[in-house]
């Protein structure tokens, strides 16, 4: 988990200081936690166990304690490729926009896809058999 967490931190938040992190909006804090803590943890223990952790305050506190304890231990971390980093940054940026309610572009794309599917369906229905 530490490696993936560090990779996400290096790609999405390469110059983040503790002071900046302490002044994150609630949306920024949420996205940071998702990409640096929960998504890597999910790969280790699975989505269901992450949900269980999130629902239990003591378990969550212990998981955060363990994360802080091990995140500073030096390990060999392979950096992501430029393309992987760009993809991860774009996903985080899109997720942040959705969380902040700025999802018009994303939402519009979904509507376009739905329209295309409906047109294809109509076309198939009217094809001679």
How many Cβ atoms are within 10 Å of 40's Cβ, its own excluded? Answer: 20
Rounded Cα distance between 38 and 101, Å, is 21
> Per-residue pLDDT tens for 4-41?
888 999 999 999 999 999 999 999 999 999 999 999 99
Which is more confidently placed, 61 or 69?
A: 61
pTM value?
0.68
Q: Are 80 and 88 in contact (CB under 8 A)?
A: yes
Q: Is the pLDDT of residue 53 over 60?
A: yes
Q: At what angle do helices 26-33 and 82-99 cross, to 10 degrees?
A: 140
pLDDT at residue 74 in the model? 59
DSSP secondary structure string, 63-92? HHHHHHHHHTS----PPPPHHHHHHHHHHH
Rounded Cα distance between 44 and 18, Å, is 26
């Amino acid at each position: 988990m530490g490696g993936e967490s560090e990779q996400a931190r290096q790609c999405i938040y390469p110059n983040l200081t503790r002071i900046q992190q302490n002044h994150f909006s609630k949306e920024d804090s949420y996205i940071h936690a998702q990409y640096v803590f929960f998504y890597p943890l999910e790969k280790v223990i699975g989505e269901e166990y992450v949900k269980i952790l999130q629902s239990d305050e003591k378990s969550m506190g212990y998981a955060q304690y363990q994360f802080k304890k091990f995140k500073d231990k030096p390990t060999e971390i392979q950096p992501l490729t430029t393309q992987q980093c760009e993809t991860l940054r774009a996903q985080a940026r899109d997720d942040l926009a959705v969380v902040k309610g700025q999802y018009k572009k994303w939402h519009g794309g979904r509507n376009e896809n739905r329209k295309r599917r409906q047109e294809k369906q109509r076309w198939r229905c009217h094809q001679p058999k």
